[in-house]
Each structure stands twice: as C-alpha cells, then as structure tokens.
C-alpha cells in the first residue's frame, strides 16, 4: 500500500532547470557586455563567447538524452559553465574577465538555493583557482582571499542551502499533515479526485464500511472504536499491494484505489483483507462495493456497498464487465 504518491509541493527539476538557464543567460549577457566595454572584441574572444552557449546546449542535450536531467546534481552545470567561460575568457580578454568575477559569487548563490548543504564545498577550490588565475594574486593576496572565499561560500552557499533544506522539511511536514488522516495514518480525501483521475477507467475502486460499527462504539466505547479503526487501517495497509492507495474516506468508511486492476482482481485483494481481519478477534466484519475506476467510481462503489449491506453484510459486491454485480 502506497501513501507517498502525493505530488510534491516543491518545484520540479524542470522548473529549476529553467531558473538555471536564466542564470546562465544572464551570466552570458554579462560576459558579452564586459568584452564589448573593455574593447576586447576580436576573433579569439568571439570564439570563446560562441563556444559558451554551444557548451551549454550540448551539456543540456546530454543530460536529457541520458535521463540525468532529473538528478539534482545536474543543476550544477548552470553555474559551472559561466565560471569555466570566465577562465577561458581570461586567456584572450583578461580585462573582460576581471570585470565579471562577481559571477562566481552568483554561482555560489545558485548552488546554495538548488543543492543540499555542503554541496557547494566542491566549488570552493575551483573558485579559488579561478580568482588566482584571473586576478593574478600573489601569495600574500591569497592569504587574505582564501578566508574571504570561505566566508563567501558560507554566506552565499551554505546559509541558503540550509534555509532551503529546512523549508523542504517543513513543506514535507505540511503535505503530510494536509493529506494524511491523523488517527489511522492513511491518506485522507483531500487529493482523492486527483488519484481517481490518474487511475482512470482501467483501475478499480473499492469502498469499504465496517459493519455495525456504531453499535460496537456504543457497547465498547470510543477508545475501543478508535483502536478498531487503527487496526483495520493496519490490515488494509499490509494486505493491499504496494501501488494501491488506501484512504480513510470518513468515519468507519475506507476507500482503496487500484490502478490497472479489474474489479474481480480487486475482490481477490479484499479477500485477503477479510481473512487477515478475521484473525484480529474484534468481532467486526466489513462490507464493500467494488467498481471500475473513473469520474463516477465512488458513487458506483457506494451503490454496490449498500447492496452488500442489504444482502446481509459481511460480503463484497463487485461490478463486472457484463454489468451484473456479483457477490463474493
């Protein structure tokens, strides 16, 4: 039984790649302007500037073709390419390269907001080498610059990375609170429609109700009733399949969405649930209605559930391809 299929509220990798491409585009414009302003436009500088977007295009294509574009580390290409370009530009237009060293700080910042903590650490050494090459620093300057580079790394990369990491944790907690039933730990109904749409008519939907639960609650107390609900939720979670989605639909009602499953196959799953539940000794039974997935699946399953109760409870009524419900 899956409970982690809720879409993330965090931005997708495609969104971050768009942001990275904007970071790269802005950096490229700065490189071009610096070359023009310093009067460094010649054949060699033009070759370097033309190679920059080509390198970005080739790198992006490789990531897409290999399927690596959805890996978080793939975002590192966007700050890395401008920094490599600065190093290359320094050989043909050193004055222009001197003007754009601030892009290194922006690269640290992009790494900070797009990568986990400490991932920016690998960038410190290349950045220090780049500063030494472009600014032609002596040993005395490096003694001063290295601590400054470390401070820049902490402020521009580590602080944002840790803030974003904390935000991710809080977002994950909020998503769990918003989509999970507090008593049973199952999914609640907040995103049920989305999952029904994803499952579509090729799936099955089972609506389950514990028989005579109100009577059980009245005679045993609400605490015992809550325990019974939690126990039944545990049985559902363990006996359904890993890709099935189990919801607490409300009160003593539960709902299971099964993708790529016929109602008959779903009934077999509920058979396992019934056998396991009988071993718990609560004395409670359940009735269920199982129908094909789709927009009206819950309504159809509800009708079949009431048919199961009308037939004497402790049974499952299943919709069939022939259109004639079957009792199992």
Q: Which of 209, 22, 244 is nearest to 113 (CA)?
A: 22
What does residue 216 show for φ and ψ, rounded to 5 degrees?
Answer: -60, -45
CA–CA gap between residue 63 and residue 158 (Å, rounded): 26
Q: Widest CA span of the chain, in angstroms?
A: 91
The one catalytic residue among 165, 176, 252, 265: 252
Contact 95, 40 (CB under 8 A): yes
**Which DSSP string do the residues of 59-77 spell out, in sequence order?**
HHHHHHHHTGGGSGGGGGH
Is 252 assigned a catalytic role?
A: yes
Cα angle for residues 27, 32, 33 (degrees, 5° grid): 95
Q: Which two tokens stand for residue 205?
A: 């939907």
Q: Please give the positions annotated as active site.
A: 252
């Amino acid at each position: 039984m899956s409970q982690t299929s809720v879409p993330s509220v965090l931005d997708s990798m495609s969104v971050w790649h768009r942001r990275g491409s904007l970071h790269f585009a802005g950096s490229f414009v700065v490189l071009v302007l610096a070359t023009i302003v310093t009067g460094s436009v010649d054949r060699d500088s033009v070759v370097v500037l033309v190679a920059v977007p080509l390198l970005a295009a080739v790198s992006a294509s490789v990531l897409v073709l290999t399927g690596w574009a959805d890996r978080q580390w793939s975002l590192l290409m966007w700050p890395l390419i401008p920094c490599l370009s600065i190093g290359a530009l320094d050989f043909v237009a050193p004055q222009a390269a001197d003007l754009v060293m601030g892009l290194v700080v922006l690269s640290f910042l992009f790494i900070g907001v797009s990568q986990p903590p400490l991932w920016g650490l690998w960038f410190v050494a290349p950045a220090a080498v780049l500063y030494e090459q472009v600014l032609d620093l002596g040993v005395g300057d490096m003694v001063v610059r290295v601590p400054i580079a470390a401070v820049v790394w902490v402020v521009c990369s580590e602080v944002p990375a840790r803030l974003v990491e904390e935000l991710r944790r809080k977002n994950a907690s909020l998503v769990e609170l918003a989509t999970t039933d507090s008593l049973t730990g199952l999914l609640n109904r907040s995103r049920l429609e989305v999952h029904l749409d994803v499952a579509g008519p090729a799936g099955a939907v089972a609506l389950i109700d514990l028989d005579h639960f109100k009577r059980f609650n009245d005679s045993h107390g609400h605490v015992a009733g809550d325990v019974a609900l939690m126990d039944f939720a545990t049985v559902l979670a363990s006996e359904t399949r890993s890709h099935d989605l189990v919801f607490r639909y409300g009160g003593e009602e539960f709902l299971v969405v099964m993708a790529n499953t016929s109602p008959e196959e779903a009934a077999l799953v509920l058979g396992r649930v019934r056998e396991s539940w009988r071993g718990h000794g609560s004395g409670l039974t359940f009735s269920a209605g199982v129908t094909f997935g789709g927009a009206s699946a819950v309504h159809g399953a509800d009708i079949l559930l009431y048919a199961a109760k009308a037939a004497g409870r402790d049974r499952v009524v299943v919709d069939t391809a022939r259109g004639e419900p079957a009792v199992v």
